[in-house]
Amino acid sequence: MTSPESPRRPRWRNLALLTLMLAPLLWPLQQLAERYYSNELVEQNRQTLDLYVANLLGSLRRYEVLPRILGDLPTLRAALRQPDNASAKDQANRLLDQLRKETGADVIYLMAPDGNTLAASNWNEEDSFVSRNFAFRPYFREAMAGNLGRFFGLGTTSGKRGYYFGAAVRDGDSVLGVLVVKVDLDHTETLWGNTPEQLMVTDNFGVVILTSRPEWRFRASRALDIEEREQIAQERPYPTIKPQDLTLDINAWLIQSRELKETGWTVRILAPINLVERPVQTVVAIGAATLAALLLLLGLLMQRRRHYLERIALDAKARQQLERRVQERTQDLEALNSRLKQEVLEREQAQQELVRAQDELLQAGKLSALGTMSASISHELNQPLGAIRSYADNAGVLLDQQRNDEARDNLRLISELTARMASIIAHLRAFARRDRHAPERVALQPALDDALALLAKRRQAMGVELIRDLPDATLWVQAGETRLRQILSNLLANALDALNERAPTRRIWLRAERQGDGVLLTLRDNGPGFSPAALERAREPFFTTKTSAQGLGLGLAICDTLTRALGGELTIANHPDGGAQLSLYLRSADPGIAFPRED
């Protein structure tokens, strides 16, 4: 019997040819990845742009009505009617300084019809506006014409950027002068933070006035015509009358913009295109690695097949026996194939059931998250809303009694509480998005004073005695200022709720001390304390010993979640002498400077 022909060995060039055929598949993969990550970046920047525009417009609208309201004050009108009366001007200066502190404006000043400044809130500073003439400013001309003057520019005296609102002070049909409020916009740049995305706000001339990159400031984003350059030279809104051009590589940025019709500004967010290129390159690299692994696996299978055929060729004498065995094996494989088909069918049915179950679980998770967030917002805003209602009622009584200064204090407190409510809502939104910003350095005593002030009226009404044991030296902890105030307010409010069930005398003890690498704050009351069941389930959301009208059972659950997010620990127990005792442990921070809080 002649020897069988040796089987052909597979050639590696076939594998190389297959590689060349499959490599173009990486191009559509790259296109899909670019489209996906570009859409993600666009949506993220759109939300950021909406938040920044809302904050910017809110800052401006807050001061928009001030000039017309303050222009009716008798002291300011007296200064305009008697421009040579030194006493009237001095009273106007002091009143404007007080108004500036209460409203948070940068500068408030009063101008005569000729544009000369008669009184200003900075009358006692080196860069005082008093006796300076700003008749060339557009806001003065618009106010004298009977309109609300608006203008952005660099102060010729202070050298600071600001947005100006001006309104005429009228006596019947005659104009006594113009009242101007300058708003400092520098803080809107600091809100942006250190991110790859860049902020750029341009005015009606296309000149950059606000930006997260200082080298772009006061540069022209487009070509200026002769009329625009003449208007810039006349109004002098920038430190130069010839703004240099801003040269940007448009292909290197993903740009989104929003026009503000009220101001004529355009707000843009510029995201580096490499924010999309990097993940796309990663996806393409993973795809290429997967393709290489598949080809390598195919090559190994081909190698094994070659060895197998070689062994069959050398075993020619046992071919018949081998064919018989192969035939028997084929029958076994057919039976196995039938069983595999049945198992595959059952597996597909189970997979479909799993997909339906996952969809139902995802929908249930969404509804649960929505319910928890709604309940959290309701719980966190109940206390400030109660305080606002109380202050508003008191303000009405004070106004009826002509106690305007005390009524104004109540209105200021209402403004602070609304700002704090906005901060709480912003924090809950960030918490829902799993904000991962690092904790900042916060002074414990001022945050505790704020929480006590929020609940002061309720505590006094209940006759609760407060016993404080706090060190004179400021204790600095690693926390978020809003989160820390939220934790302290909830703990104090729960203590007051517990004391409602006890007859006088009612007491709350506060003690703070350094302990190891952190600070331990202990809050104790002489109420009924926790029951064994309450101690076991106090951290569970919606668990409460109160009625549904008194609480939702989220206070301690939120405090525990926020504390653990800050790297701290909240301990709940009963004091040996009776009452509840809660211990809040936070990590220490390096000492800093406790600046006055701005709301």
Question: Mind listing the pLDDT tens digit for each residue in 401-429?
Answer: 888 888 888 898 898 888 777 766 654 55
Distance set, CA 332 to CA 326, 327, 336, 342 (Å): 10, 9, 6, 16
For 257-293, what is each residue's pLDDT tens digit? 888 888 888 988 888 888 777 887 787 788 788 877 8
Confidence (pLDDT) at 364 = 47
* Number of C-beta neighbours around residue 292 at 10 A: 11
CATH of 187-275, one of 3.40.50.300, 3.30.450.20, 3.10.20.600, 3.40.630.30: 3.30.450.20
327-332-335-336 Cα dihedral, nearest 10 degrees: -130
Banded model confidence at residue 373, pLDDT cuts 50, 70, 90: very low
Distance set, CA 454 to CA 387, 393, 417, 483, 489 (Å): 7, 16, 9, 15, 8
* Number of C-beta neighbours around residue 577 at 10 A: 8
More confident residue, 445 or 155: 445
Lookup: tokens for 158 = 């202070």
* Number of C-beta neighbours around residue 538 at 10 A: 23
What share of residues in the chain are helix, strand, coil (percent, to 5)? Answer: 55, 20, 30
Burial (0-12, 13-18, 19+ Cβ within 10 Å), 70: buried
Lookup: tokens for 110 = 């009063």
Pick from 227-231, 438-442, 557-561: least confident: 438-442
| C-alpha closest to that of 255 among 233, 272, 274 | 272
Banded model confidence at residue 222, pLDDT cuts 50, 70, 90: confident
Query: In this structure, are residues 187 and 120 in contact, taking their beta carbons and an 8 Å threshold?
Result: no
Residue type at 536?
E
Query: In this structure, are residues 508 and 466 in contact, taking their beta carbons and an 8 Å threshold?
Result: yes
CATH assignment of 65-184? 3.30.450.20
Long-range contacts formed by 79-84: CB under 8 A, 24+ apart: 79/110, 79/118, 79/119, 80/110, 80/112, 80/118, 80/169, 80/176, 80/177, 81/171, 81/176, 83/112, 83/118
Query: In this structure, are residues 163 and 183 in contact, taking their beta carbons and an 8 Å threshold?
Result: yes
Confidence (pLDDT) at 350 = 85
Query: In this structure, are residues 81 and 175 in contact, taking their beta carbons and an 8 Å threshold?
Result: no
Task: Say yes or no: domain 437-587 is CATH 3.30.565.10.
Answer: yes
Residue type at 586?
L
CA distance linking residue 46 with residue 40, whole number of Å:
10
Banded model confidence at residue 360, pLDDT cuts 50, 70, 90: low
338-339-341-345 Cα dihedral, nearest 10 degrees: 140
Confidence (pLDDT) at 196 = 82
Query: In this structure, are residues 522 and 538 in contact, taking their beta carbons and an 8 Å threshold?
Result: no
